[in-house]
């Protein structure tokens, strides 16, 4: 119980302890009912819960990471054998969980005077602002419009459960940039005005999901060994945020270990609870200041396990040589699925959870034929402008993280899909010569052919490049093409894993049928997109002429791209009928 200033009197705020109080949004396994549960009930009954599901994917993923920190603290696991024993049991030791949550019970109180959960009690309420500033779905200051509008003068009233969820999410997904800071005691403002983004603000975060919450958390509970420095080298006593006695400071430091990383405090925050006239606890204001920042020589790729990274061979000063795979408004994440499953030479690093599960398959702790899901969650952000958040789910037969031949066939399919997709963009393609001479030559892409005719004053004069670009941009066929392929690709992902035969040499071959079928899906989708985009776009004589020329170019290039797979399809058909 704590005291808070309310009007002209001190108001006694009851404890709101996240171990016991309902605040984590869950979907029950038995009947699909949506309920909110406390940390204790979620962990002790995880095998009866289908999933954690919040409207905000940022909340969803950070709640999983919070629970993973509790589990790692209590169960390791130090070896694959330890992990397998936990998996086979089907639930965690409730006695051990009870003992731990009892020991640290007071540290999970959202409004505790000394150690409020995920907050810094030393900062004063005179620095408070609207609680909308920590809710990514609200518009405030520079934030782009997402779902709601709340002015600083009319802050929302959050319940303690809502405030707790947004508090946890904001620590990981805080936008970087200037923080409104007004000196109240004559202290210099400059050291506190700018803060880096939260650790996950620019990342597409991966989460392996199983049939229930127990399986989901176990699939992401990778090896944790303090003595061996796994999953990365420890630099001191590795503690989750609630076990740390020292308050969060506005300083640069690297994480002491994995628990520190999972519960990283990028901001010093303090919720300001009040009791309304009905006796209900609400939170309308929060203090939000700069917290721990990663030093310039330590990058997220050094320790993060749930994010994929791509090689940057020429990083600028202060940039990571391994930046995180990000979310872009115009690019569906399934197009980067190969980057999430396995490494490609020195080009990318998949999330370490993918590599961990591959090791479990190799150790026979999991069956390669087992199917799970891979969820990708995060937001698209530019500085302090949040464009959108996203939660995508891909089916993941575990063979993809362990079987290199299957993985290579997936990469081949994705490369083919990208080649066809480029037909709907501006520019040129380089084509190998067919006249026996070495080298390549450039041919304009079909939409460039179309735009060139429309933008030419007459056939004897060149088209205006800016006008051509404007025409192609107005048509935007790429969006149609990629959106139409999302559902078929997910089916293809599962079918490809099952399409395996043994050849005459005793080797396993993948995709002999399914890959040719995928090429046919691309052909049909591409033609449907082309006709939907071009037909009727301009019915003038010049427009019809442009359409005819573009169609010839499109037909020729599409045939060249898909011809090898069309031959495979015909050969397979002949074998079946022969």
CA angle 207, 211, 214 (to 5 degrees): 70
10 has pLDDT over 60: no
68 has pLDDT over 50: yes
Stretch 551-561: mean pLDDT, rounded?
Answer: 95
Stretch 553-565: mean pLDDT, rounded?
Answer: 93
| 390 touches 57 (CB < 8 A) | yes
| Structure token digits, residue 17 | 């302890």
- Which pLDDT score, from 0 to 100, does residue 7 have? 41
**How many other β-carbons are positioned within 10 Å of the β-carbon of residue 81?**
10
| 411 touches 336 (CB < 8 A) | no
For residues 400 and 398, give the distance between their C-alpha atoms in angstroms, rounded to a whole number: 5
405 has pLDDT over 70: yes
544 has pLDDT over 80: yes
| Structure token digits, residue 54 | 């919040």
376 has pLDDT over 50: yes
For residues 495 and 195, give the distance between their C-alpha atoms in angstroms, rounded to a whole number: 46
For residues 320 and 318, give the distance between their C-alpha atoms in angstroms, rounded to a whole number: 7
Q: How confident is the model at residue 507 (pLDDT cuts 50, 70, 90)?
A: confident
Cα within 13 Å of Cα(84), Cβ side? 12
Q: Which of 359-373, 432-446, 534-548, 563-577 has the lowest average pLDDT?
A: 563-577
| 325 touches 336 (CB < 8 A) | yes
More confident residue, 128 or 38: 38
- b or e along 540-555 (b: 16 or more beta carbons within 10 Å of the residue's beta carbon)? eeebeebbeebbebbe
For residues 221 and 199, give the distance between their C-alpha atoms in angstroms, rounded to a whole number: 19
| Structure token digits, residue 250 | 């506005």
For residues 321 and 303, give the distance between their C-alpha atoms in angstroms, rounded to a whole number: 14
- Pick the closest to residue 551 from 447, 442, 430 (CA basis): 447
Using CB atoms within 10 A of its CB, is residue 381 exposed (0-12), middle (13-18) or buried (19+)? buried
For residues 430 and 440, give the distance between their C-alpha atoms in angstroms, rounded to a whole number: 6
Strands of 455-526, DSSP E: 500-502, 508-510
* 3, containing H or E segment: strand 2-6
Per the prediction, the chain carries an average pLDDT of 89
Q: What is the 8-class DSSP label of residue 540?
A: S
For residues 551 and 531, give the distance between their C-alpha atoms in angstroms, rounded to a whole number: 9
The structure's pTM equals 0.91
Q: How confident is the model at residue 146 (pLDDT cuts 50, 70, 90)?
A: very low
- Which pLDDT score, from 0 to 100, does residue 145 have? 47
Q: Which of 27-36, 353-362, 498-507, 543-552 has the lowest average pLDDT?
A: 498-507
- Pick the closest to residue 61 from 92, 15, 24 (CA basis): 24
Q: Which of 3-17, 99-113, 393-407 has the lowest average pLDDT?
A: 3-17
- Pick the closest to residue 82 from 209, 220, 222, 233 (CA basis): 222
- Which pLDDT score, from 0 to 100, does residue 577 have? 41
For the chain, list the domains and their CATH numbers.
2-387 (no CATH), 403-577 (1.10.132.100)
- Which pLDDT score, from 0 to 100, does residue 159 have? 96
Stretch 371-387: mean pLDDT, rounded?
Answer: 90
For residues 461 and 394, give the distance between their C-alpha atoms in angstroms, rounded to a whole number: 49
- b or e along 486-510 (b: 16 or more beta carbons within 10 Å of the residue's beta carbon)? eeebbebbebbbebbeeeeeeeeeb
- Which pLDDT score, from 0 to 100, does residue 183 have? 62
Q: What is the pLDDT of residues 424-473, one digit of tens each?
A: 988 888 887 766 676 678 888 998 888 888 888 666 467 778 888 888 88
5 has pLDDT over 80: no
| 198 touches 205 (CB < 8 A) | no
| Structure token digits, residue 472 | 């192609």
For residues 436 and 415, give the distance between their C-alpha atoms in angstroms, rounded to a whole number: 26
- 500-to-231, 407, 514, 562 alpha-carbon distances in Å: 34, 12, 10, 22
% of residues, the chain, pLDDT over 90? 67
Q: Which of 184-198, 387-401, 408-422 has the lowest average pLDDT?
A: 184-198
% of residues, the chain, pLDDT over 70? 89
Furthest CA-CA distance within the chain: 91
| Structure token digits, residue 514 | 């399914």
* 2, containing H or E segment: strand 2-6
More confident residue, 551 or 7: 551
| 522 touches 416 (CB < 8 A) | yes
For residues 42 and 20, give the distance between their C-alpha atoms in angstroms, rounded to a whole number: 10
DSSP of 224-288, one letter per residue?
A: -BTTTTBSS---S----GGG--SPP-S-B---SSHHHHHT---EEEEEEEEE-TTS-EEEEEEEE
| 236 touches 260 (CB < 8 A) | no
Angle between helices 160-173 and 57-75 (to 10 degrees): 80
27 has pLDDT over 70: yes
Cα within 13 Å of Cα(147), Cβ side? 9
- Which pLDDT score, from 0 to 100, does residue 103 have? 99
Q: What is the pLDDT of residues 213-228, one digit of tens each?
A: 999 999 999 999 988 8
- Which pLDDT score, from 0 to 100, does residue 148 have? 45
- 123-to-6, 9, 113, 120, 241 alpha-carbon distances in Å: 18, 21, 12, 6, 17
- Which pLDDT score, from 0 to 100, does residue 179 have? 74
141 has pLDDT over 80: no
């Amino acid at each position: 119980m704590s005291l808070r200033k309310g009007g002209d009197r001190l108001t006694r705020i009851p404890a709101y302890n996240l171990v016991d109080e309902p605040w984590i949004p869950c979907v029950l396994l038995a009947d699909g009912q949506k309920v909110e549960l406390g940390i204790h009930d979620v962990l002790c009954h995880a095998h009866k819960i289908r999933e954690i599901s919040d409207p905000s994917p940022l909340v969803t993923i950070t709640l999983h990471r919070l629970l993973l920190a509790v589990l790692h603290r209590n169960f390791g696991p130090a070896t694959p054998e330890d992990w397998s024993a936990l998996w086979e049991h089907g639930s965690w030791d409730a006695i051990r969980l009870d003992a731990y949550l009892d020991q640290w019970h007071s540290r999970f109180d959202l409004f505790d005077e000394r150690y409020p959960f995920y907050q810094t009690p030393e900062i004063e309420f005179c620095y408070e602002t609207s609680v909308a500033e920590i809710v990514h779905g609200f518009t405030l200051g520079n934030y782009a419009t997402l779902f709601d509008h709340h002015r600083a003068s009319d802050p929302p009233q959050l319940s303690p459960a809502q405030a707790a969820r947004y508090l946890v999410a904001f620590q990981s997904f805080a936008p970087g940039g200037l923080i409104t800071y007004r000196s109240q005691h004559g202290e210099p403002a400059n050291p506190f005005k700018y803060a880096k983004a939260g650790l996950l603000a620019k990342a597409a975060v991966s989460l392996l999901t199983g049939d229930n919450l127990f399986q989901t958390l176990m699939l992401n509970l990778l090896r944790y060994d303090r003595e061996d420095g796994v999953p990365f080298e420890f630099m001191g006593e590795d503690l989750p945020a609630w076990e740390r006695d020292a308050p969060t400071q506005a300083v640069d430091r690297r994480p002491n270990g994995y628990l520190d990383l999972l519960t990283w405090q990028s901001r010093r925050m303090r919720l300001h609870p009040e009791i309304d006239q009905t006796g209900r606890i609400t939170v309308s204001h929060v203090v939000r200041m700069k917290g721990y920042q990663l030093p310039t020589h330590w990058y997220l790729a050094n320790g993060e396990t749930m994010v994929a990274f791509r090689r940057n061979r020429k990083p600028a000063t202060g940039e990571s040589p391994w930046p995180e795979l990000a979310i872009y408004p115009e690019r569906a994440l399934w197009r980067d699925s190969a980057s999430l499953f396995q490494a490609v030479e020195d080009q990318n690093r998949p999330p370490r959870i993918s590599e961990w599960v591959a090791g479990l398959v190799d150790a026979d702790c999991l069956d390669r034929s087992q199917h799970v899901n891979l969820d990708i969650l995060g937001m698209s952000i530019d500085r302090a402008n949040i464009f959108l958040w996203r939660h995508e789910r891909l089916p993941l037969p575990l063979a993809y993280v362990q079987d290199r031949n299957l993985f290579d066939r997936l990469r081949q399919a994705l490369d083919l899909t990208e080649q066809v997709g480029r037909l709907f963009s501006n520019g040129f393609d380089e084509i190998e010569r067919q006249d026996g001479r070495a080298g390549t030559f450039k041919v304009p892409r079909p939409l460039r052919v179309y735009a060139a005719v429309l933008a030419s004053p007459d056939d004897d004069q060149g088209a205006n490049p800016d006008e051509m670009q404007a025409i192609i941009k107005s048509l935007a066929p790429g969006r149609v093409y990629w959106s139409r392929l999302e559902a078929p690709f997910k089916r293809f992902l599962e079918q490809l894993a099952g399409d395996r035969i043994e050849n005459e040499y005793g080797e396993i071959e993948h995709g002999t049928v399914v890959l040719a079928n995928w090429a046919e899906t691309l052909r049909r989708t591409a033609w449907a997109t082309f006709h939907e985009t071009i037909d009727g776009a301009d019915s003038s004589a010049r427009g019809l002429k442009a359409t005819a020329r573009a169609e010839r170019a499109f037909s020729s290039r599409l045939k060249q791209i898909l011809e090898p797979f069309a031959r495979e399809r015909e050969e397979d058909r002949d074998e079946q009928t022969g």
